[in-house]
Amino acid sequence: MMLARNLILLYIIKVAKWFMLYMPVSLLFYMENGMEKYYLLLHAIYSGIIDLLEVPSGYIADVWGRKPALVLGGLFGVLGFGAYSISSGLAGFLVAEILLGIGSSLLSGADSAILYDTLSQNNQEKRYLKEEGRITAVGNTAETLAGLFVSLIVFTYYRTYFQLQTILAIIAFIGALFLIEPKVHQLREKAGFKDILSIVHTTFRKNKVLRNLIIFASAVGLASLSMAWMAQFVFVQAGLNERHFGIAWVVLNGMVMLGSLSAYRINKLLKVKWSILYMMLIFSVGFFVVGYHLTFAAFIPLALLFYFRGTAHPILKNYINEQTDSSQRATVLSLRSLIIRILFFTLGPIYGFINNKISLEYALYMCAIAVAIPLLVFGTLILLGLKKN
């Protein structure tokens, strides 16, 4: 009963969270309120909030339980989108991003951890990659349908999409309330900052395989986050009509959905070595290709990047879970998200500055370099470790 219930609720939470009506029009909403120059800066601040709370929130999920972390995360999501719904200036937008950052940090890692532990309690942990891929695909489908909704139903004010998003956040919050905490997850008796430092030390100093996987996965995550926020600038540069932003978002997220559904088969076919190699290649050169010719032709490599984004995340999460103890799983998964957010917090304003002062082309080249360096370094270390073993 617990397995079926948690799986259904995780699907509901995923759909409510990823039916992102605001995403295809977020830049347009900022433009509507005269805030476009703060677009990447505020999203970098959002990442900075997650930087501060990512590991402590993952630790909360390990100490207090996955369910409390998901419930709190859902509540802050409601507050964040609620703030956006009534704000029109810098202060309100900043508060909204801070609240959403707190919520995202609490959700990050806890959802994957409760899925893995739910399956583990039923001796079905081998199903994790397939279920993670399916849940991710359902989320991508929801995001795709959201883009379709936006393209078909155009409101007079873009704020309306944020108001509807608040309702969806409430659904995710209610879904989290009905989750069942897996018994396989043993709550820690000794909770404290030293315990967090111990997990970090073990992950990055003692377990080199896990360290390399986390940093490699973080570079892939940086690529995903960067392409998500830069895509709308590509839309504008390519001369796409505002009414077609939703359709473009449908296509891109449809590619992510297909990638997520393919993750299990690709991993089974390629194994670890070739999976790491294709991620190194695709994400290292992808931004160069997109930035080279910023016309409608750029949508082809951009769509391929979104497809491989869909395959990469479930595969890498599975590799990390296989190397992690249940009592530390949410914290370790949060370390990956922490690194991603630190990188984007640092690089996001730089992307924005280059885009504003020089060109979008050079901003994309900057993305490419920032992603390629850690991918090539830590991907090589992973491959050398495989060869040695």
CB 79 within 8 A of CB 172: no
Q: Which residue has the tokens 């993750």?
A: 263
Report pLDDT digits (tens) over 6-65.
Answer: 888 989 998 998 898 888 888 888 888 988 888 888 888 887 887 777 667 666 777 777
All domains of the chain in start order, with CATH: 2-179+195-388 (1.20.1250.20)
Least confident of 58-72, 169-183, 193-207, 330-344: 193-207
By the 8 A CB rule, do 295 and 346 touch?
no
Render 192-242 in DSSP notation, one character per residue.
Answer: SHHHHHHHHHIIIII-HHHHHHHHHHHHHHHHHHHHHHHHHHHHHHTT--G
pLDDT of residue 279: 86
Residue 88: how many CA atoms within 13 Å on its side-chain side?
Answer: 6
Question: Average pLDDT over the chain, rounded to whole?
Answer: 81
Residue 189: what pLDDT? 46
Between these two residues, 250 and 363, which has the higher pLDDT value? Answer: 363
Helix (H) or strand (E) holding 54: helix 39-63
Which position has the higher pLDDT, 353 or 3? Answer: 353
Read off the tokens for 4: 């079926």
pLDDT top residue among 133 and 1: 133
Of the CA atoms within 13 Å of residue 155, those in its CB half-sphere come to 16
pTM for the model: 0.66
Supply the pLDDT for residue 313. 77
CB 39 within 8 A of CB 355: no
User: Which residue has better confidence, 137 or 327?
Assistant: 137
| Reported confidence tier of residue 276, pLDDT bands at 50, 70, 90 | confident
Q: Which of 52-56, 294-298, 317-321, 351-355 has the highest mean pLDDT?
A: 351-355
pLDDT band at 100 (very low <50, low <70, confident <90, very high): very high
pLDDT over threshold 80, residue 359: yes
Q: What is the pLDDT of residue 79?
A: 96
Reported as a single tens digit per residue, the pLDDT across 233-246 is 888 888 787 777 87
Supply the pLDDT for residue 188: 47
pLDDT at position 267 over 50 = yes
Run of H or E residues at 37: none
Assign residue 247 a region: left if phi > 0, alpha if psi is -120 to 50, beta otherwise?
Answer: alpha
